[in-house]
Amino acid sequence: MLIVLLLYLCGNGYLFWKVWIAMSGLPVWGKTLITLLFWILVFSLFVSIVFRETSLPDIVSKVMFHGGATWLVFLLYMILSLIVLDIARLFIPLGNTLWYALSITGIIMIYGYINYKQPRVERFDIKLEKEFQGKRLKIVAVSDIHIGYGTGISALKEYVEMINDQEPDVVLISGDLIDNSVKPLKKEPFDKVLSELKAPMGVYMVPGNHEYISGIDACMDFLRDTPVTLLRDSVVELPGGVQIVGRDDRSNRNRKPLAKILEMVDKNKPVIVMDHQPYRLAEVDSLEVDLQLSGHTHHGQVWPLSKVTDFMYEQSHGYRKWRHSHIWVSSGLSLWGPPFRIGTNSDMAVFEISSAIE
């Protein structure tokens, strides 16, 4: 974390040096104003997170969060553009590269925002060598919605409608439904919007790391006013026999081992595991879980961070059939922080689970 913070400060220092050069013709008041605005943006996201539970006015918290989050992506692509342009300037007379970098970054961010607003619906038809009543189950699987200052109530309404359009039997949410705090959830009727989810067999979720960041007890209190059932190292059996195993997040160091939880299930019936963070997937496969649903990675949200998550995780996003287990790692229906998808996609999965046994 210290290395990341140091890189962030160095990147901002490099960009500010470029801005300072470009301000050479401005009066002192103009330089002062731009300098102040620059460094406010640099630190505003951190201030909004640190003071998220204080009595800061809601509008101030929201503006600081969105301004600071957008700055992260702006900084990343400005630095990448400036580095490439500074190298190119050794061979081509480009003049002040700051203006070229601003244009390139602006275009990339406009594309990223438009792409983020168009989540993909991925569909999978999975046949299991296990029998269950009804022979077919339709699951809508989502993760990382991050409601609060990140995903506002209007966006949540769109996601609820998107889920309901699929007419699922059951909705499974693999963690990080809530963003950084339950405070903004008390300002608007987020609970009522979640109550519009339609799934005859229920809506289930597991905690993610952000439920712990927000305060797990406060999140549980919020969920009690919604149709969402929180599973923490527990099992629920749906009508027909399909079993949903909900693991607590790794943030709880005392959570039960998966093997221990699976002692509570009937291995002759389908077993679906929800675990927010996709670690130790080979173990999941060895325990013959039929389907695991995870999230957390966001697939990095923007390139080249997507390459980092590809390196960090056995499976950083999407669907993969292992030796036994079908595993889906969502990139997130929404995302955390900056509202941009560059080189990645927001997603929702629709699983048609059926029995291969006649």
- Residues 217-271: tens digit of each pLDDT: 999 999 999 999 999 999 999 999 999 999 999 999 999 999 999 999 999 999 9
Is the Cβ–Cβ distance between 352 and 136 less than 8 Å?
yes
155 with 222, same domain?
A: yes
Instruction: Identify the band that residue 358 occupies on the pLDDT scale cut at 50, 70 and 90.
Output: low
* Last residue of one domain, picked from the residues 116, 142, 162: 116
Query: Domain check: are 107 and 157 in the same one?
Result: no
Which residues, listed in sequence order, are joined to residue 249 by a DSSP beta bridge? none
Choose one of 116, 137, 167: the last residue of a domain.
116
Say how far apart CA 188 and CA 210 lie, in whole Å: 20
- Asked if residue 333 lies in contact with residue 142, where contact means CB atoms within 8 angstroms, the answer is yes
Phi and psi, residue 127, nearest 5°: -105, 130
Can you give the residue range of the structural domain that contains 49?
2-116
Residues 183 and 52: their CA atoms lie apart, in Å, by: 8
Find the helix or strand (DSSP H, E) in which 127 lies.
strand 120-128
Judge if the upstream peptide bond of residue 119 is cis by omega within 30 degrees of 0.
no
Structural domain ending residue among the three candidates 94, 116, 138: 116
Could you tell me the CATH number of the domain that includes residue 178? Answer: 3.60.21.10
Residue 76 and residue 304 in contact, taking contact as beta carbons nearer than 8 Å: no
Query: How many domains, in total, are found in the chain?
Result: 2
Q: Of 59-73, 107-121, 287-301, 306-320, which range is least confident?
A: 59-73
Entry pTM: 0.92
Identify whether residues 249 and 320 lie together within a single domain. yes
Same domain (yes/no): 175, 210? yes
Q: Summarize pLDDT for 265-276 with one digit per residue, the tens.
A: 999 999 999 999
Please report, in angstroms and rounded to a whole number, the separation of the first and last CA atoms in the chain.
Answer: 54
| 147, 98: one domain | no
